[in-house]
Amino acid sequence: MKSLTALVLIVACADAYVVNPGPKYPATKGYVWPAPQQQLSIETYYSVNVQKFAFKASETCNILYNAQHRYLEIIQTQVPALGRIKVSNDNNYLGELAQVTINLTDICDDNAYPNIDMDESYILNVAEDGASISAQTVWGALRAMETFSQLLYLAEDGISTRINTTSIVDSPRFPHRGILVDTSRHFIPLEQLKQIIDAMTFNKLNVFHWHIVDDQSFPFVSMTFPELSAQGAYHPQLYVYSPDDVAEIIEYSRQRGIRVIPEFDSPGHTRSWGISHPELLTPCNSIQQGSYGPMDPTKNLTYTFVEDLFAEVRKMFRDQFIHLGGDEVDFDCWESDDNITAFMTEKNITSYANLEGYYIQKILDAVDKLNFSSIVWEEVFSNGVNLPNETIVHVWRDWSGNSWVETMYQVTKMGKTGLLSACWYLDHLTTGGDWQTFYECEPTEFGGTPEQTKLLLGGEACMWSEVVNQYNIVQRIFPRASAAAEKLWSAKVENIDTNFVSRRLEEHVCRMNKRGIPAQPPNAAGFCL
């Protein structure tokens, strides 16, 4: 019996340590990420001389003109092939593809900005009579050019670039597909922000949610209140975003079809505001001498200050939406303040959640006057604030469980639009390819009716920066956010082939690496050509 047990243990150990040579998930070739809505590819193919290839647009503007040059450079860098190689007996070979024509239905407007209603649909055909892109708008054309660049692959001969005959009809599943980047806990320089925006483009993400300030620092340079960054930033010159910096990020994003939505979170997460303006915050001397808590909601000064700041923000940021935060308000300080207690009695406010609601309601009214639409974290909804119909509720809590399901159900039941982030918190790490956990989250599975599901606008992957800085933030985000990107763009898949998705992501990571994005390996052992 002992001999049999020993034999079983030896076999079990041998099985546990069997490792085959080569990559665990061999990369695919010429597969698009995120997967298109409809795609038909066959074995016939073209070769592409990437040094001579061109895009030809029926109508152009600076956005499209710049994109053509950008993608030509990407293609030449991504697949540095030597030209076409024709095998004489290969009946699938169609010759050399010299160009792709781009046809737009709408006028290409250089003054346009991407928005929540933009049309990103396109049709891409690589056929026997040539290749073409058709799109209603320039934003759809940008997405199509990204898809075309991903269809190119290096042939087995190692020196020729190929593209298969392919027909794609594509459009995003959700209109809001974003990444939140926190630039307060650690300052993130423009170089890394642009890398993130580039990688967003390669994943067809379209919202850069800029959580620009928080308790720890206030790097946003306000011309109305310059003392906020002068005293509240980690360094008043080195670790700040000037108006020119903000304009640069907005324009860089616009050229790539990406919206920039700023977040100025309050009444909590505002400690850095109080370095220069302590009168805005609630003193917590009874808890700790010299400490401060959330914004003081009893003072008219608080609201006029925020409204003046947001008036400046409205002029700088071009998107329709501003994120007002409203999360994680610590009520202890309010509870300890006699003035706030008296104010609540006077106003017949019976709970501190309702007091936060009072504050948020006044801020919502202020931004409405500025022609801003608002996004708020879910606590604002849960606390019963009377939200305007156009206000979006951002669901984030209990990322490790399923309580977001109930919250999203209630948000949409009340006829409010929602965004999901609970599944996609990039600052939470697990061993190995944790992108698979992100990929398994299906945002529509919250038990809602078809009408409720239509109220889900999409979602965002969140990169809070307590433990990331300029040296590791990009590789922390990608390719893990690529999983969320595909869930938000591509059609819902009932039975996920994880092995095939892993192979596709191997290719996509190598693709991003070749384009200068330091995305980390997604799975296990492997290599990039």
- Beta strands at 38-47 and 161-170: parallel, antiparallel or unpaired: antiparallel
Average pLDDT on 425-434 reads 83
Predicted confidence (pLDDT) at residue 405 exceeds the cutoff of 70: yes
Asked if pLDDT for residue 31 goes beyond 60, the answer is yes
**Cα distance between residue 216 and residue 198, in whole Å:** 27
Kindly report the average pLDDT of the chain as a whole number: 92
Per-residue model confidence (pLDDT) at position 226: 98
Higher pLDDT, 383 or 113: 113
Per-residue model confidence as pLDDT tens digits over 470-508: 999 999 999 999 999 999 999 999 889 999 999 999 999
Lowest mean pLDDT among 121-125, 126-130, 207-211, 429-433: 429-433
pLDDT tens digits, 222-259: 999 999 999 999 999 999 999 999 999 999 999 999 99
As a whole-number percent, the residues of the chain with pLDDT over 70 amount to 94
Contact 196, 474 (CB under 8 A): yes
Q: Which two tokens stand for residue 477?
A: 């985000």
- Percent of the chain at pLDDT > 90 equals 82
84 pLDDT above the threshold of 80: no
Distance CA 323, CA 393 (A): 10
Q: Is the pLDDT of residue 102 over 90?
A: yes
Residue pLDDT, tens place only, 283-329: 998 788 888 999 999 999 999 999 999 999 999 999 999 999 999 99
Residue 371's closest CA among 416, 322, 323? 322
Please say whether the beta carbons of 392 and 419 come within 8 A.
Answer: yes
Return the ∠ at Cα 523 (arms to 522 and 526), rounded to 5°.
Answer: 95
Is residue 472 within 8 Å of residue 518, measured between CB atoms? no
Q: Looking at beta carbons, which pairs linking 520-523 to residues 24 or more positions away fall under 8 Å?
A: 520/475, 520/476, 520/478, 520/479, 522/433, 522/435, 522/479, 522/482, 523/24, 523/25, 523/432, 523/433
pLDDT of residue 16: 58
Q: Is residue 234 within a helix (H) or strand (E), and if so which, with residue range? A: none
For range 154-168, the mean pLDDT: 89
Per-residue pLDDT at 158: 76
4: confidence class by pLDDT, cuts 50, 70, 90: low
Mean pLDDT within 347-352: 94
pLDDT band (50, 70, 90) for residue 401? low
Residue 1 has pLDDT above 70, yes or no: no
The set of catalytic residues is: 328
Radius of gyration of the CA atoms of the chain, in A: 26
87: pLDDT strictly greater than 60: no
| DSSP E strand stretches across 53-117 | 54-57, 93-96, 99-104
Mean pLDDT confidence for 89-115: 93
pLDDT score, position 429? 84
CA dist., res. 522 & res. 479, Å (int): 6
Query: What token pair was written down for 347?
Result: 């106003």
pLDDT at position 11, please? 47
Which residues lie below 8 Å from residue 84, measured CB to CB, with a gap of 6+? 47, 48, 49, 95, 96, 160
Question: What's the pLDDT at 402?
Answer: 62
**Is residue 194 scored above 70 in pLDDT?**
yes
8 A C-beta contact, residue 197 and residue 248: no
Q: Rounded to whole angstroms, how far apart are CA atoms 240 and 219?
A: 4
Q: 185 is written with which tokens?
A: 């806990």
The pLDDT, as a whole number, for residue 6 is: 52
Q: What is the pLDDT of residues 63-77, one digit of tens each?
A: 999 999 999 999 988
Residue 430 confidence (pLDDT):
79
Instruction: Find out whether 25 and 523 touch, Cβ atoms under 8 Å.
Output: yes
Task: Read off the pLDDT of each residue in 130-143 and give the average, rounded to a whole number.
Answer: 97
Beta strands in 111-187 (DSSP E): 122-127, 130-135, 153-154, 161-170, 176-182
Q: What is the pLDDT of residue 59?
A: 77
- Is 457's pLDDT higher than 80? yes
Question: What pLDDT, on a 0 to 100 scale, did the predictor assign at position 403?
Answer: 84
Query: Do 364 and 329 meet the contact criterion of CB atoms below 8 Å apart?
Result: no
Averaged pLDDT for residues 260-271: 97
C-alpha torsion angle, residues 190, 196, 202, 204 (rounded to 10) = -110
What number is the average pLDDT over the span 382-403? 84
CA distance 175 to 119: 9
Is residue 82 pLDDT above 70, yes or no?
Answer: no
